[in-house]
Structure 1
Amino acid sequence: MCGFVGVITDNKENEINNNTLVNMTNLIIHRGPDDVGYYFGDHVKFGFRRLSIIDLKSGKQPLTSENNRYTIVFNGEIYNYLELKVILQKKGYSFKTDTDTEVIIALFSEKKELAFEELRGMFSIVIWDTFDKVLYGARDRFGIKPFYYFEDGSDLFFASEKKSLLLAKARNEINEDALHHYLTYQYVPEPFTMSSDILKMEPGCYFKKKVGQPLKIKKYWSPNFTPVIGNIDESTKEIIKVLRNSVQFHMRSDVPVGSFLSSGIDSTSIVAFAKEVNPNIKTFTVGFEREGYSEINVAKESADKMGVENISKEISPNEFIQELPKIIWHMDDPVADPAAIPLYFVSKLAREHVKVVLSGEGADELFGGYGIYKEPISLKGFSSMSASNKERLKSIISYFPSNIKGKNFIERGCTPIEERYIGNAKLFSENEKELLLQKYNFLKSYQDITKPYYDKIPHYDDVSKMQYIDMHTWLSGDILVKADRMTMAHSIELRVPFLDKGVFSIASKLHSNIKVTRSEQKYALRKALEGIVPDHVVNRRKLGFPVPIRHWLQDELYDWARNLIIFSNTEYLFNKAYILKLLEKHRKGNFDRKSSIFLSKKSLDFSRHIWAILTFMIWHQIFIEKDIQSQNSLIGTKQAELVL
């Protein structure tokens, strides 16, 4: 597990100097504190930081093939590398190390771009072919590992984190289209970033860049749902088989492997299977010092029943606010998902004991775990109505007061899923963005992101359409971003056994009626795990790293939030009067401060909207204003000097 930076240039006289490349590499030392390596060749330069997991002594990178044709830098883990190694040895390849990196370069020598399809794991890879003067880059199927790039004339820069690329750019200008989308989605959808010209390579893609020719990007894999399994008994057997196999592969390591443990079925199932490999596995849990916002008690009960050790910690508001700027710095782009906060702290806790942790990301997207996935079942009664009747009813209901019971239900029932579902999170509406933004772009719509995906799947049922949208947006844009950045912030490798091509091959074949029922999500998965995970977890409602943001913004963090809004240098982007009005409405909502409980469902809860703005403002201070005092306190003087 590592991080890389690099450049390929057509004109060797225009390439970046070695000191800039070294600075770009050192800026991501948290991704690889164990070792550093460089490659300076004709047209191409690589910088690499290494976190040692497998073959601690001989896993150095960049690695050049025995015939000196190929040089590779690689961030990730390939779990089937031993099996691939045996196949390659039979074809005459020899190996000097026990690393997956050497297997990748041999497999690429054998199959070129087709090699990426055979890799089982998480990866961002760059390979330089010195004979043909071609640079290849690839990213794993699900986007577990990051890959940023930007083109400057004929030069192509690339890196594991965006902050490294900013050192090679003259200016960091905000992508205003990305800001529009961020305010809708709470993250910047791929391939865009908040910085103009810098892009992310999308999951399941690879590129070719030949010296003197333009960059070409191709797709080698895309997640598709092809339901053929409708029998619950058949599905449970297959699910158990592939999950157990995936966890066994993900446990391969020369250093101890631990696991995050929440109160939910996803992480608990990972621990249950991991215990079969290592009965002494350590588990880690965090919670907050507020009733209803801690999973520690349930996690400890699960750990006791499974016979594993659980190490836990409670997070205070003061700890949270102190670490928040650092969290946002590590994110590269603003991500307004409060779940990043407990991920940061549980990673910090785990790093005191292990170098590698397992986690349950991806289970919801693959097996239908989000509550919103039950909506098509609730709205089934509208399916018999004609489109014209739906439009009439929708027009009539629009005149009703917004707080009337059932209005939202009818509006959603009369709206095609392609228009009503944009992903797991939706913040500001277009009308709200018009009030918030100083330069609202009427030509930008949330459907700019989702429509191309919906156009590919008109034959899918509604639940599968929702999963498809989330897998292409929410999963790679939010879930895996915070998972990678928060663990790498503490130099710890995160592995996600649910996001395995073997597991997906089964999940993609399940009919929606055994994934989601009127009363349950992840129905097939829960049935499969009965008797494997403790009974109190099997049907437990999903919490998803609960964070008391809405309470804090009314009490402990109100003054902090108000001051941040007032003194932020973002008035050229935002209408601050509107933001302060939202904050006051939220503070004065129907809320009992003594018991920390909202007294009715009609309470004015604008916490998610406010949090997205506050997150952006801190990001702006760090990356746009480049405030030297905050930079020094966030990341240390040495790294701050590189940024500035």
Structure 2
Amino acid sequence: MCGIVGFTSNGHDPAAAKRTAQAMADLIRHRGPDGEGYYADTRAALGHRRLSIIDIDGGGQPMFNEDGALVVVFNGEIYNYRALRTRLQRLGHRFATDSDTEVLLHGYEAWGTALPRRLRGMFAFALWDRRTGTLFCARDLFGIKPLYYYQRGRQLLFASEIKALLAHPAFEKKLNEARLPDWLSMEYLPDSETLFAGVYELPPAHTLLWQDGRLTTARYAAPQFRPRPGSLRHYAGAIGDALADSAAAHRIADVPVGCFLSGGVDSSLVVRETARNQPAVQCFAVGYAEQAYSELPAARAAAAALGVPLHETTVTAADFFAANRAIQWYLDEPMPNPAEVPLYFLCRAARQHVKVVLSGEGADELFGGYPLYQQAVWAGRWQAVPRALRRALAGLLPGCGFLRRGALPRWQRAARANYVFETTQERDKYLLRSYGAPAPARRCKPYFDAVRHLDEPTAVQWVDMQTWLPRDILRKADRMSMAHGLELRVPFLDRRVLAVALALPRRLRCTGRRGKPALRAAAACRLPGRLAEAPKRGFPVPLADWLRQDETYARVRAKLTGPVAARFFDTAALCALLDAHRAGTTNAMTKIWAFYCFIEWYELYFEEKIPPVL
């Protein structure tokens, strides 16, 4: 796991270009504290910050092929690199290292732009072909590892994190203000744009090709749900086998490996599979003094049942708010999901003991774990009722959200939009100006249009895998772990596990009353006690309670009435929202935290000298 940067231009000075690449890489040195390397010629420059995990002595980057015509920088891990290495050796390729990075060079020589389809792992890489003047980049199937790019004229800049672009003289830092309403509704932008004007995120399962000033992106894989008949017992076995195989692959490392453990079924399964081959694997959990929100009791019970040691971390309100400034810096774009804060502390604690952790992200999206999917089951059944009757009932009971949403098209009723605000009218009353932004669900319509043929809960799952998973779940997992030089691996997000998930009949992914039945059946065969039925908790945070305390209230109010708030928002409306929350007449935690995080992020990136003092 590392950080990569680079750029292309026509006729730059290699020495100066190398210095620029180093300045870019310095801004993401937290991703690779173990080493650095740079390459530059007259047309391109590449930089790399290394976190040494595999082939510690021989895996330095940038890495070259035998004749030096190809050079690559790479962030991630290729878990099938040994099998690919053997195949390439049979084709006549010679390897100089035992690093998975070298497989990318010889793989590109053998298979060209088809290379990413053969890779099993998490990755973002950039490969420069000096002979053809071609830059080829690719991102993994799920979007576990990030990659951003920025084009200005015939120059192309790229980096693992947006902040690295700030060090390049061609980069013009500007807020993509037109997308502020979308972000405010959804906590992220559901497409390739970012809150920095002109900066784009390469989507998951995509490649980027740059040659002669022309940029082309293409999708190299498009997984589809294709349910196949099978019993619960059959699929429970298939899931267990696939996860065991994936966990074994994800343990490949030349450094100590640990696990996150929340006490839920997903993390417990990952720990169990890891502990089978690594007894007494070190596990890590985070919680709060407020017991109602803390997952530490559940984590302790799971650790005891699995027979593994547990390291506990407790986060206070003071810790929470003090860390948010640094967290927004590491995130690149503001993210008001409070779960990122305990994750930040969990990663910091784990890094004191191990360099790699395995975690349970992705299980809910692949196997149907969110209540949203169960609601979609009922919504799908409701659509079978004649439309006239549905409209009539919605008119008789206008206060019933289920009936009201049931009268809407699927892309409106099912999208994970309006996450922060129920309506655009409610959102827009806090904005100082009108942006003419569409309803946030409209941004998700293209995704739902692409899967009209799927039943409703399956369509919602698919859309989540394209939007929510890479842009929220995996983004905060990558940034919070890399902030501490910790490699976080996600065994559920693996090609073989995905193949089983895509074949599951819908009834084995979710029902109207139960999530993840097949995964829980697999867990029942493998986990001790009642761990397989552990309820889904998410990442609960006592923020709503803290916002009602005097000290926290004053801190937040000062931010909501400051100069940045006054530039974008109706500060009187923000204060009224905060006061209503404090009085207990409403729970506006998510909305308040969204405004607070945006303001703090904007101060960091647009009001202060970069890099900030954290």
1:344-381 per-residue CA deviation (whole Å, 9 max, x = no partner) reads 00100000000000000000000000011111333455
SS at structure 2 position matched to 1:422: coil
**Contact 1:186 1:425 (C-alpha < 8 Å) held by counterparts:** no
- Once residues 448 and 194 of structure 1 are traced to their aligned partners in structure 2, the CA distance between those partners, rounded to angstroms, is 18
2:522 aligned residue (524, 528, 537): 528
1:612 aligned residue (586, 589, 594): 594
**Contact 1:230 1:514 (C-alpha < 8 Å) held by counterparts:** no
**Contact 1:621 1:627 (C-alpha < 8 Å) held by counterparts:** no
Once the two structures are superposed, the pairs formed by residues 135-174 of structure 1 within 5 Å of their partners are 135-168=135-168, 169=170, 171-174=172-175
The equivalent residue for 1:81 is 81
**Contact 2:155 2:213 (C-alpha < 8 Å) held by counterparts:** no
State the AA in 2 paired with 1:274: T
State the AA in 2 paired with 1:174: L
The equivalent residue for 1:42 is 42
- Once residues 231 and 334 of structure 1 are traced to their aligned partners in structure 2, the CA distance between those partners, rounded to angstroms, is 44
Is the alpha carbon distance of 1:177 and 1:535 closer, same or farther for their aligned partners in structure 2, counting shifts above 3 Å? Answer: farther
**Contact 1:35 1:51 (C-alpha < 8 Å) held by counterparts:** yes
Pair 1:563-2:544 in alignment: no
The equivalent residue for 1:411 is 404
- Once residues 493 and 513 of structure 1 are traced to their aligned partners in structure 2, the CA distance between those partners, rounded to angstroms, is 35
- Once residues 49 and 9 of structure 1 are traced to their aligned partners in structure 2, the CA distance between those partners, rounded to angstroms, is 22
- Once residues 508 and 425 of structure 1 are traced to their aligned partners in structure 2, the CA distance between those partners, rounded to angstroms, is 27
Q: 5+ unaligned residues in a row in structure 1: which ranges? A: 399-403, 591-603, 635-644
The equivalent residue for 1:188 is 189
State the AA in 2 paired with 1:581: A
**Contact 1:31 1:50 (C-alpha < 8 Å) held by counterparts:** yes
| TM-fit CA distance, 1:519 | 2.4
**Contact 2:255 2:356 (C-alpha < 8 Å) held by counterparts:** yes
2:545 aligned residue (551, 570, 575): 551
- Once residues 171 and 132 of structure 2 are traced to their aligned partners in structure 1, the CA distance between those partners, rounded to angstroms, is 31
The equivalent residue for 1:579 is 574
1:124-177 per-residue CA deviation (whole Å, 9 max, x = no partner) reads 010011111111000000000000110011100000000011222554211123
**Contact 1:334 1:615 (C-alpha < 8 Å) held by counterparts:** yes
SS at structure 2 position matched to 1:3: strand
State the AA in 2 paired with 1:439: R
- Once residues 229 and 478 of structure 2 are traced to their aligned partners in structure 1, the CA distance between those partners, rounded to angstroms, is 33
Pair 1:385-2:366 in alignment: no
Is the alpha carbon distance of 1:337 and 1:552 closer, same or farther for their aligned partners in structure 2, counting shifts above 3 Å? Answer: same
State the AA in 2 paired with 1:72: V
Once the two structures are superposed, the pairs formed by residues 327-366 of structure 1 within 5 Å of their partners are 327-366=327-366
Pair 1:423-2:405 in alignment: no
Is the alpha carbon distance of 1:480 and 1:244 closer, same or farther for their aligned partners in structure 2, counting shifts above 3 Å? Answer: same
The equivalent residue for 1:503 is 497
The equivalent residue for 1:206 is 207
- Equivalent pairs: percent with the same residue? 37
State the AA in 2 paired with 1:156: L
State the AA in 1 paired with 2:461: Q
**Contact 2:36 2:50 (C-alpha < 8 Å) held by counterparts:** yes
State the AA in 2 paired with 1:472: Q
SS at structure 2 position matched to 1:508: helix
**Contact 1:188 1:335 (C-alpha < 8 Å) held by counterparts:** no
Is the alpha carbon distance of 1:143 and 1:326 closer, same or farther for their aligned partners in structure 2, counting shifts above 3 Å? Answer: same
Q: Which moved more, 1:191-200 or 1:165-174?
A: 165-174
**Contact 2:239 2:519 (C-alpha < 8 Å) held by counterparts:** yes
**Contact 1:423 1:473 (C-alpha < 8 Å) held by counterparts:** no
1:625 aligned residue (590, 601, 607): 607
- Once residues 25 and 83 of structure 2 are traced to their aligned partners in structure 1, the CA distance between those partners, rounded to angstroms, is 32
SS at structure 2 position matched to 1:4: strand
The equivalent residue for 1:597 is none
The equivalent residue for 2:313 is 313
| TM-fit CA distance, 1:229 | 3.5
| TM-fit CA distance, 1:330 | 0.3
State the AA in 1 paired with 2:525: G
**Contact 2:46 2:62 (C-alpha < 8 Å) held by counterparts:** yes
The equivalent residue for 1:177 is 178
- Once residues 198 and 420 of structure 1 are traced to their aligned partners in structure 2, the CA distance between those partners, rounded to angstroms, is 30
The equivalent residue for 1:279 is 279
SS at structure 2 position matched to 1:426: coil
| TM-fit CA distance, 1:425 | 6.9
| TM-fit CA distance, 1:81 | 0.3
1:486-516 per-residue CA deviation (whole Å, 9 max, x = no partner) reads 0000000000000001100000111111111
Once the two structures are superposed, the pairs formed by residues 12-161 of structure 1 within 5 Å of their partners are 12=12, 17-161=17-161
- Once residues 376 and 143 of structure 2 are traced to their aligned partners in structure 1, the CA distance between those partners, rounded to angstroms, is 28
Is the alpha carbon distance of 1:65 and 1:575 closer, same or farther for their aligned partners in structure 2, counting shifts above 3 Å? Answer: same
- Once residues 593 and 16 of structure 2 are traced to their aligned partners in structure 1, the CA distance between those partners, rounded to angstroms, is 38
| TM-fit CA distance, 1:388 | 4.4
**Contact 2:306 2:528 (C-alpha < 8 Å) held by counterparts:** yes
| TM-fit CA distance, 1:40 | 0.8
Q: 5+ unaligned residues in a row in structure 2: which ranges? A: none
1:58-113 per-residue CA deviation (whole Å, 9 max, x = no partner) reads 11000010022210000000000011111111111111111000111111110011
| TM-fit CA distance, 1:280 | 2.5
- Once residues 414 and 179 of structure 2 are traced to their aligned partners in structure 1, the CA distance between those partners, rounded to angstroms, is 19
Q: RMSD in angstroms over aligned alpha carbons? A: 1.8
**Contact 1:188 1:333 (C-alpha < 8 Å) held by counterparts:** no
- Once residues 354 and 425 of structure 1 are traced to their aligned partners in structure 2, the CA distance between those partners, rounded to angstroms, is 39
- Once residues 376 and 70 of structure 2 are traced to their aligned partners in structure 1, the CA distance between those partners, rounded to angstroms, is 51
Q: Which moved more, 1:421-430 or 1:76-85?
A: 421-430
SS at structure 2 position matched to 1:455: helix
2:536 aligned residue (530, 542, 549): 542
- Once residues 126 and 144 of structure 2 are traced to their aligned partners in structure 1, the CA distance between those partners, rounded to angstroms, is 16
**Contact 2:185 2:419 (C-alpha < 8 Å) held by counterparts:** yes
State the AA in 2 paired with 1:631: P
| TM-fit CA distance, 1:298 | 1.3
SS at structure 2 position matched to 1:21: helix
**Contact 2:165 2:171 (C-alpha < 8 Å) held by counterparts:** no
The equivalent residue for 1:454 is 448
- Once residues 115 and 303 of structure 2 are traced to their aligned partners in structure 1, the CA distance between those partners, rounded to angstroms, is 40
Is the alpha carbon distance of 1:248 and 1:170 closer, same or farther for their aligned partners in structure 2, counting shifts above 3 Å? Answer: closer
- Once residues 16 and 534 of structure 2 are traced to their aligned partners in structure 1, the CA distance between those partners, rounded to angstroms, is 54
- Once residues 397 and 510 of structure 2 are traced to their aligned partners in structure 1, the CA distance between those partners, rounded to angstroms, is 29
Q: Which moved more, 1:127-136 or 1:382-391?
A: 382-391
Is the alpha carbon distance of 1:516 and 1:424 closer, same or farther for their aligned partners in structure 2, counting shifts above 3 Å? Answer: farther
The equivalent residue for 2:509 is 515
State the AA in 1 paired with 2:416: G
SS at structure 1 position matched to 2:214: coil
**Contact 2:31 2:49 (C-alpha < 8 Å) held by counterparts:** yes
SS at structure 2 position matched to 1:487: helix
Q: Which moved more, 1:535-544 or 1:212-221?
A: 535-544
- Once residues 248 and 577 of structure 1 are traced to their aligned partners in structure 2, the CA distance between those partners, rounded to angstroms, is 55
Q: Which moved more, 1:189-198 or 1:460-469?
A: 189-198
Once the two structures are superposed, the pairs formed by residues 211-222 of structure 1 within 5 Å of their partners are 212-222=212-222
- Once residues 551 and 171 of structure 1 are traced to their aligned partners in structure 2, the CA distance between those partners, rounded to angstroms, is 41
After TM superposition, the score normalised by the length of structure 1 is 0.92
**Contact 1:364 1:370 (C-alpha < 8 Å) held by counterparts:** yes
State the AA in 1 paired with 2:81: Y
Is the alpha carbon distance of 1:554 and 1:534 closer, same or farther for their aligned partners in structure 2, counting shifts above 3 Å? Answer: farther
State the AA in 1 paired with 2:196: S
